[in-house]
Amino acid sequence: MRLLIGNDDGIFAQGIQALANALHRAGHGVTVVCPDRERSATGHGLTLHDPIRAEEVTGMFDPGVRAWACSGTPSDCIKLGLGALLDEPPDWVLSGINHGPNLGTDILYSGTVSAAMEGLLEGIPSIALSLADFASRDFSVAARTACELIEEMTQNPPDRPTLFNVNIPAIAAEAIAGRQVTRLGYRRYFDEFEKRLDPRGRTYYWLGGELLTEVNPEEIYPPTDQPLPTDVQAIRDRYITLTPLHFNLTDLVALDGWHQRLSRSNP
């Protein structure tokens, strides 16, 4: 398989090196295009008012892995790979392995998920991978999960292009309960802006805060008939979570009600 890999932690991140090398050793053709520095929580931002520069790098990955460090955002990197650096489209776009979880509403801010979403926008099936702990440095289980998923998807390809958001518990392989297809949960954060002064006496703000709570989606949205657990719950239960995502953000539950109340035809 031809694979294009990006991330938001940057070219020096241990996660992308583990992912690219594992997939290359599994026999896949691997190309890496990722930011030249950390670009976490950039969402689906694009660089429109500055040039995008890309430099091919050597010595950071296994021989045979082609890699570029890009000055742009995670989404820029995948766009550049698809539009300028690759001679032919990849079979899959992957992003990660992110250092830290991307669960529930995290995906709206995640550069990791946005990079993978760029592949889906081009009709290419994609996978975003995250190790669900900021302290762990062992990406072996997550890399092995990626290899297994690509192998399984090769044997049984999806009916249509899909983005799988995958979170892997940062525990020993034998302690993992299994794999679980999930729906998105909801994570609420307490935002705190610390007011500071720079050396010239000008005010600036530093965004901080912490995870406040993990909320059951049914507390916010109408209940559904979907029996699957949320990714937030499943990762807590020691499962590898696989959440199919799409770029269509239409609120299908509320769509008909709003149509009845607000749609009209002019005479």
CATH number for the domain spanning 87: value is 3.40.1210.10
Cis peptide, bond prior to residue 171, ω within 30 of zero: no
DSSP classification of residue 220? T
Q: Is the pLDDT of residue 266 over 60?
A: yes
Count of domains observed in the chain = 1
Segments forming the whole domain that contains residue 11: 2-182+225-251
Residue 255: the pLDDT is 87
Share of the chain above pLDDT 70, in %: 93
Residue with tokens 């008939």: 225
194 falls within a domain: no
Beta bridge partners of 55: 69
Segments of the chain assigned E as strands: 2-6, 29-35, 54-57, 66-70, 92-99, 126-131, 163-168, 178-181, 186-197, 203-215, 239-245
148 falls within a domain: yes
Mean pLDDT of 86-111: 95
**Confidence category of residue 206, pLDDT binned at 50, 70, 90:** confident
190 falls within a domain: no
Residue 72: the pLDDT is 95
Q: Is the pLDDT of residue 235 over 80?
A: yes
256 falls within a domain: no
DSSP classification of residue 229? P
pLDDT in tens, 118-131: 999 999 999 999 99
Q: Is residue 221 within 8 Å of residue 139, measured between CB atoms? A: no
**Confidence category of residue 228, pLDDT binned at 50, 70, 90:** confident
Mean pLDDT of 15-32: 98
pLDDT in tens, 51-73: 999 999 999 999 999 999 999 99
**Confidence category of residue 211, pLDDT binned at 50, 70, 90:** low
Average pLDDT, the chain: 91
d(CA 217, CA 66): 42
Give the DSSP per-residue string, 55-113. EEE-SSS-TT-EEEEESS-HHHHHHHIIIII-SS--SEEEEEEEES---GGGGGT-HHH
Using DSSP, state whether 223 is helix, strand or coil: coil
20 falls within a domain: yes
192 falls within a domain: no
Q: For the ranges 93-97, 196-200, 234-238, which has the lowest average pLDDT?
A: 196-200
207 falls within a domain: no
Residue 90 CB partners (closer than 8 Å, separation 6+):
1, 2, 3, 4, 31, 82, 119, 124
Q: Is the pLDDT of residue 226 over 70?
A: no
Mean pLDDT of 214-230: 64
Nearest CA among 94, 98, 78 for reference residue 15: 98
Q: Is the pLDDT of residue 152 over 60?
A: yes
205 falls within a domain: no
